[in-house]
A and B are shown apart, each in its own frame.
Chain A
Amino acid sequence: MVKSGQRIRITFSKGGEIRYISHLDMMRLWKRALRRANVPLAYSKGFNPQPKISIAAPLAVGFTGEEEVMDTLLERPVSLTSFARSVKKQIPPGITLKEVREVYMALPSLQSQVRFAEYTVSPLDDEEIEGKIEALLAAEAIPRERRGKKYDLRPLIDDLRLEGSTLWMRLKHDAQGAGRPDEVLAALGLERAGKAIHRTRLIFASQL
């Protein structure tokens, strides 16, 4: 860790066409945007130095995000206003900078602090949805299979409810496992196609 540096936490939204890029693409996008912004990025040591950027909780391809969070380390402190100004000019449409703040260098890694993620899914046009939600929440276990691996979805669902024609859910997201909203949809017997899945926020350990 760089002693004299600065750790900056960026909150941004991901929407529009950008939702189709993967987490790795997103890392590359930020790396290049920050390089273009000419901020003093700190790099890892070794033969293949990489800028120190970490994005909390990879967002699946096709989902949008309201408050995505990212940490980056700078070699030396800069003014947050000038940082935000130069970065804003270098990010593509679809990404909006929402907040830039400084955090303690010594904080544990961003990823290790994520606990829950909240999502909305819309529109829903299933008449019997209320009953299905109740049944799902009442179930002891929801056995599912993803990429050839069997798992139980039930403990990953913290909360699930209907808000008008929008499905709202809070899913576990930590080192033990992460719930996927499309899996919840499938468990409810709903189609993924034609629905917008939006991550409204991430909940960190410090917020509990």
Chain B
Amino acid sequence: MFAGLDRRGYNPNWGLGVEVSEERLDQILSQVTKPARYTGGEWNSVVKDWDGVRTKVLLAYPDLYEVGMSNLGLMILYDLINKEDDFLAERAYTPWVDMEEALRGAKIPLYSLETRHALGDFDIIGFSLSYELNYTNILTMLDLAGIPLLSCQRSESHPLVIAGGSCAYNPEPLADFFDLFVIGEGEEVLLELVEAYGKWGKGERDQFLRRAAQIEGVYVPSLYEVAYEDGALGSPQPRTPEAKPVITRRILNRLPPPPTEVIVPYVEAVHDRGMIEIMRGCTRGCRFCQAGVIYRPLRERPVEEVLVAADELLKATGYEEVSLVSLSSCDHSQIEEMVRGLVTRHAPQQVTVSLPSLRVDSFSLGLATLFQGRRKTGLTFAPEAGSQRLREVINKGITEEDILSTAERAFRAGWQRIKLYFMLGLPTETREDVAAICDLVKRIWGMGREIGGRRAQVSISAATFVPKPHTPFQWMPLEGAASLKEKQAFLRRELKDFRLSWNDPQVTLLEAVLSRGDRRLGAVIHEAWRRGARFDAWDELFEPANWWEAFQDQGLDPDFYARRPLDRDAPLPWDHIDVGVKKGFLARECERALRGQTTPDCRGGPCFACGVLETFPGAREAARQGLWGCPPRVAGRGEDR
């Protein structure tokens, strides 16, 4: 399929600064699917004078346009950089395979949507990483721009290639490809970095990287080395004095104002609506959840600020829906007031309000009644596990009683469709726990039939548990292929009358490997891509053989990374990344899980000394002012509770 592709990795025939020929581009655009993905010009996109700014940043998202355009994080950075007179930010997404082929055929380098400059013309290319299965798309984008894939192959004439986002909390599998990673919330640190790079001019690249490593939250992988004793996992160690032994995540004590003049895409985005971040962080402490750790502490946006932002957002975009996003929006202390305010102000203009997920309780149901009105489109709840025992292991603090009574109320209030999220393969899970999922589903459905009659519908998503870095379950294995398949088959049999979705075990395996992988995986990713891996997150394009052959090629075993319980005392590839929440806390939580002990939500105290309050400067002050969900003091002796 990729005939023009040089097998060594990138196509040396395309020099940098190649003009994007409008004429040739026109010819290919009329031949690819959804060409408007590649033409830009959207409402509110920012086109600045190319020669009028000092530093040019290309924000890249390694997935299709429709997915990338739904990413709020990228939009926040776009807004922030473009507000600075000295900088500009433009965008690029991964071209679908038909466009990749067309670009190669027409020898057009990958270009920015705003001004159609080749990616190589920018000073900095910043990738936003939020899903492991997008990794090969990063290589496609660099290659299509004629930029060498490996950091060590690039010189002063190439852009600085950097990355941030939730996957950067274990940056090791991508260490070969990026010059540096931004660890944590990018709002401040990215501007500091762009500023520093602009001032540096076109000096020696290596010198700059050493200097950048001094910026808090910046990780320069080339300044570290890893020893793999007997092939075991190793954690990176500094090999120069500039490299800090530990890189601490950057956070903001207070959420900056949300962007309101956001780009309105022509092509329908996955989330085709306005979004306002109402809260960052979550303190519920679900033990499988990475987001619940890496976004701590909990910070709320005041309701007045949300209301004003919503007014501006709707005016600037014309959107007919505004989504109040956060990890757990029902937990915002003023959520009811917020939803009421929005509905009163905007319902006459046919604006709907939505929350990305609901808690399993009657309060959330009341909220849903408030914002869905008579529409009652359907409700989604996440019990995560079928049995009470397992819910206690994962610290999902809801009871069977909560689930059943909430579902009953929902049916009585007129909802007909309920979707339930569960996980398979959680630590300690047995056949009984899986059977409990089926029982729960059937009881809910039975209730629905009784109350709502024939139209009651229950659908189930049973995703596979994947152990993630920086979580209490980071040491746990991914369940074995055979028993996982058996559990999936059991669910399919027992729930054959329901709409049921589950994950392809090969996708899950790859995700688990890349999540907990180390630096050796760089070669595997590179090789899989060379073999043709593209858009691995897309069922229609995922070809697992590319990957398993690449592993073989490199003499590595996927199961070694994914299916092994890790030793609690052994070094981990992400030990040098300090997210604030400490390894000791995660280990304690892991032990409590195995003993079936729950840990309550720490919001407002008592505090369990997860580490966040000790790590960040100004934390206590911020907590004292009530900006954080943490109490200002660690209660008692935290450490041993």
Contact = CB atoms under 8 A, between A and B. Distances in A.
A35 B320 contact: yes
A24 B39 CA distance: 17
Contacts of B375: 47-48
Interface string A3-32: 000000000000011101110110011011
A17 B267 contact: no
B30 A62 contact: yes
Interface string B256-292: 0000000010111000100000000000000000000
B374 interface: yes
B349 interface: yes
Contacts of B268: 24-25, 28
Interface stretch (B172-180, B310-318, B446-454, B605-613): B310-318
Interface in B359-401: 374-377
Nearest to A30: B318
Given A22-B36, A25-B266, A28-B266, A92 B42 contact: yes
Given A25-B267, A28-B266, A62-B29, A20 B318 contact: no
A93 B41 CA distance: 8
Nearest to A32: B318
Interface in B551-590: none
Chain A interface size range: 20 to 34
Contacts of B320: 31-32, 35
A43 B268 CA distance: 21
Chain B facing A: main interface SS: loop
B267 A21 contact: yes
A31 B317 CA distance: 11
A90 interface: yes
Nearest to A40: B349
Interface string B25-44: 01101110011101111110
B318 A194 contact: no
B207 interface: no
A35 B318 contact: yes
Nearest to B376: A47
B374 A31 contact: no
Given A32-B318, A35-B349, A193-B27, A18 B374 contact: no
A181 to B, nearest CB: 13
B344 interface: no
B548 interface: no
20 contacts: A17-B41, A20-B29, A20-B35, A25-B36, A25-B268, A28-B266, A28-B272, A32-B43, A32-B320, A35-B319, A36-B316, A36-B318, A38-B315, A47-B375, A47-B376, A49-B350, A62-B30, A90-B318, A92-B43, A193-B30
Interface of B: 26-27, 29-31, 34-36, 38-43, 264, 266-268, 272, 315-320, 349-350, 374-377
